[in-house]
Amino acid sequence: MANEGSSNPSSTDSGWKYCTRGQGNSCVCNFCGKVTKGGITRAKEHLMAKPGNVAAYAKCPKEVREELWGYLKDTKKQESETFQRMRQHFLEDYGDSDEERALDEGVHQYIARFWYQAGLSFNLVKLQSFHKMLTNVGAFGPNLRPPSYHEIRVPLLAKELENTEILLKDQKELWGRFGCSIMSDVWTDRKQRSIINFLVNCTAGTMFYKSIDPSNFVKSGEKTFELLDSIVEEIGEEKVVQVITGNGSNYVLAGKFLERKRSHLYWIPCAAHCIDLMLEDIGKLPLIKKTILRAISLVGFIYSHSSTLSLLRFATSFLTLERLHKEKGNLRKMFVSDDWTNNKLSKEAKGKEATKTVLMSAFWNNVLYILKVMAPLVKVPHLAMEKAKEAIRKSFEYNESKYKEVFEIIDSRWTCQLHHPLHAAGHFLNPDLFFSNHSMEFDFEVVNGLGETKDSYRATIYKMGGGMFGAKFAIQQRSIVSPAQWWLSYGLSTPNLQHLAIKILILTCSASGCECNWIAHNFFFSYLLHIHSKKRNRHEHKRLHNLVYVECNQALVKRYNYRDEIDPISLNDIDIHKWLVGQMDGDDENDDGLPWDVVFEE
């Protein structure tokens, strides 16, 4: 049976008897070795087989599961009793139970009024911090004094900055232990105002570091290098494994300068941006370009705002086509219905063109062709490139004539931007990939890539599966836990290689973390612009920076805490073809059996 010794003696939570504290706020199940993020609560949900975001462990002993469920019920009972006591005190002071509903509605109305006057998003009511605030206000009782304008701007913000630094403490400690990645990306608004954001990623998550006004840096490789070099210097060269940026020529040159000056780190172009460029190049192929323009025209006609659809930006075109394909049957039925025929729009030129497009078999054939080409690149951006290409080959039943031109575009971008020794080394050191394909040790690109890494060590014991690498539990865990966690647990036979493997396998390959959902909020972008406004004095500049630092990092920590097990980069369970369903028009659909090209025939 798994070790039941507590790994956290200072905690009274019974879950620690069956879990071990991992890196950061992660927990390792003592029964199966699964790593969960989000603390002991998420780990217990795994052990209890509780439905939700955490994969259940069906073989957890029944008595353990019953104990944890009992602990949960007791805790909820205590919370409920505390709440009822608080509520009873409130009712005793303000009225009997007959007035309870009216009191609730009255309080809620005050909250709603504040919401409307402040112009807050309705989604903010779901924030856990909002619910905690109400709980603590209720616990305080009547006559709570609200914070003053000064308090919420200065001392309370300073206190929250301290709390945020505590949340990030584990991350910063791991920078020195296993290294980190600096991620850089540029945000530009509709007025062409730009901000460069820098984030730092490690095995315990991503943190917002700072933002820079790029107006002081002309778009030259030399100036870009000076900026990147200064960020590396601030964080510490010994902690930085790689710097990830966009793929512009200034970044390429800056990356070369950076690697030349600091020989122990790498510059890596953003994989997500590279895939964007692949999609853009593919979208220029005549057949694909024509189909995409037809699709955008059709969607624009239906929704009457085609100008809002952005062509070829982060796979927007693919998502537009995917949505159209899903609604193919409904669209065709709509455009042959009596309601449409009697609609005056059906008589107009644009209406006739839309009808022609929807009922055209060639259009839907081309849509399906594009989905088969783009799906592996868009839907699963973390796929190894060969895995993505293999999915495309299978989609076309290995008919090379249908994908040869697309592969030439992919290979062109891959070779010049994503073909990197770190990627090859990561492929070799991933136990699930390596031991499922032993011929990899004879693959020149992979072995040469490992040899080109600046810290490569002998890997004979690993390749032979010797030492702890060949232990029964280590073999079972190859495809279950993350590659980095696997090396941490079983790489003690080769400590130097273990350290190298963990440093490489925890690395991110994209700067897309810089483009988190908060960019969608105009007020956040405004914060950044205000920070860099020359009209701001030094104190106000610092205060706004702290505000953004707190908001961004608390959002990033929350997002990371709700992540499930780290993806082991094992691609075997990913069904690429679920996005590639469909067949070329003939068209054997489960409707009236009448071919649509006959329906359209004039």
Instruction: In whole angstroms, give the CA distance from residue 424 to residue 521.
Output: 38
Q: Are residues 140 and 175 in the same domain?
A: no
User: Worst-scoring range by mean pLDDT, 12-16, 86-90, 439-443?
Assistant: 439-443
Residues near 52 by Cβ (< 8 Å), separated by ≥ 6?
45
Whether residue 547 contacts residue 527, with contact meaning beta carbons closer than 8 Å, is answered with: yes
User: Worst-scoring range by mean pLDDT, 39-43, 91-95, 224-228, 500-504?
Assistant: 91-95
* Residue 569 is assigned to a structural domain of this protein: no
The two structure tokens encoding residue 164: 């945020």
**What one-character-per-residue DSSP string does 285-338 give?**
SHHHHHHHHHHHHHHHHHHS-GGGSPTTSTTHHHHHHHHHHHTHHHHHHHHTSH
pLDDT tens-digit series, residues 350-377: 888 888 888 888 888 888 877 776 666 6
* Residue 338 is assigned to a structural domain of this protein: yes
* Residue 568 is assigned to a structural domain of this protein: no
- Closest residue by Cα to residue 274 from 310, 322, 315, 241: 315
Domain boundary among 122, 146, 170: 146
- Closest residue by Cα to residue 580 from 404, 370, 381: 370
Given the structure tokens 């939570």, which residue do they identify? Answer: 13
Cβ-count burial 114-128 (b if 16+ within 10 Å, e if not):
eeeeeeeeeeeeeee
User: Worst-scoring range by mean pLDDT, 147-161, 166-180, 227-241, 515-529?
Assistant: 515-529
Q: Are residues 142 and 109 in the same domain?
A: yes
pLDDT tens-digit series, residues 158-177: 999 999 998 888 889 889 88
Instruction: In whole angstroms, give the CA distance from residue 394 to residue 388.
Output: 10
Model confidence at 257: pLDDT above 90? yes
Q: Are residues 164 and 256 in the same domain?
A: yes
* Residue 406 is assigned to a structural domain of this protein: yes
User: Worst-scoring range by mean pLDDT, 310-324, 406-420, 477-491?
Assistant: 310-324
Q: Are residues 193 and 111 in the same domain?
A: no
Q: Are residues 247 and 115 in the same domain?
A: no
Instruction: In whole angstroms, give the CA distance from residue 550 to residue 557.
Output: 10
Q: Which range is most confident: 175-179, 333-337, 382-386, 592-596?
A: 175-179
Confidence of residue 576 (pLDDT cuts 50, 70, 90): very low
- Count of structural domains within the chain: 5
* Residue 485 is assigned to a structural domain of this protein: yes
pLDDT tens-digit series, residues 4-54: 434 444 456 778 888 888 776 778 888 887 888 777 888 888 887 766 545
Confidence of residue 487 (pLDDT cuts 50, 70, 90): confident
* Residue 564 is assigned to a structural domain of this protein: no
Domain boundary among 92, 108, 132: 92
Model confidence at 570: pLDDT above 80? no
Question: Beta strand pairing status for 194-202 and 205-212?
Answer: antiparallel
Domain boundary among 67, 92, 117: 92
* Residue 551 is assigned to a structural domain of this protein: no
pLDDT tens-digit series, residues 330-346: 778 777 777 778 888 77
User: Worst-scoring range by mean pLDDT, 278-292, 313-327, 527-541?
Assistant: 527-541
Domain that holds residue 67: 1-92
* Residue 560 is assigned to a structural domain of this protein: no
Kindly state the average pLDDT of the residues 585-596.
Answer: 44
Q: Are residues 249 and 174 in the same domain?
A: yes
- Is the sign of the CA dihedral 214, 171, 201, 450 positive or negative? positive
267 DSSP assignment: E
At 211, is the secondary structure helix, strand, or coil? strand
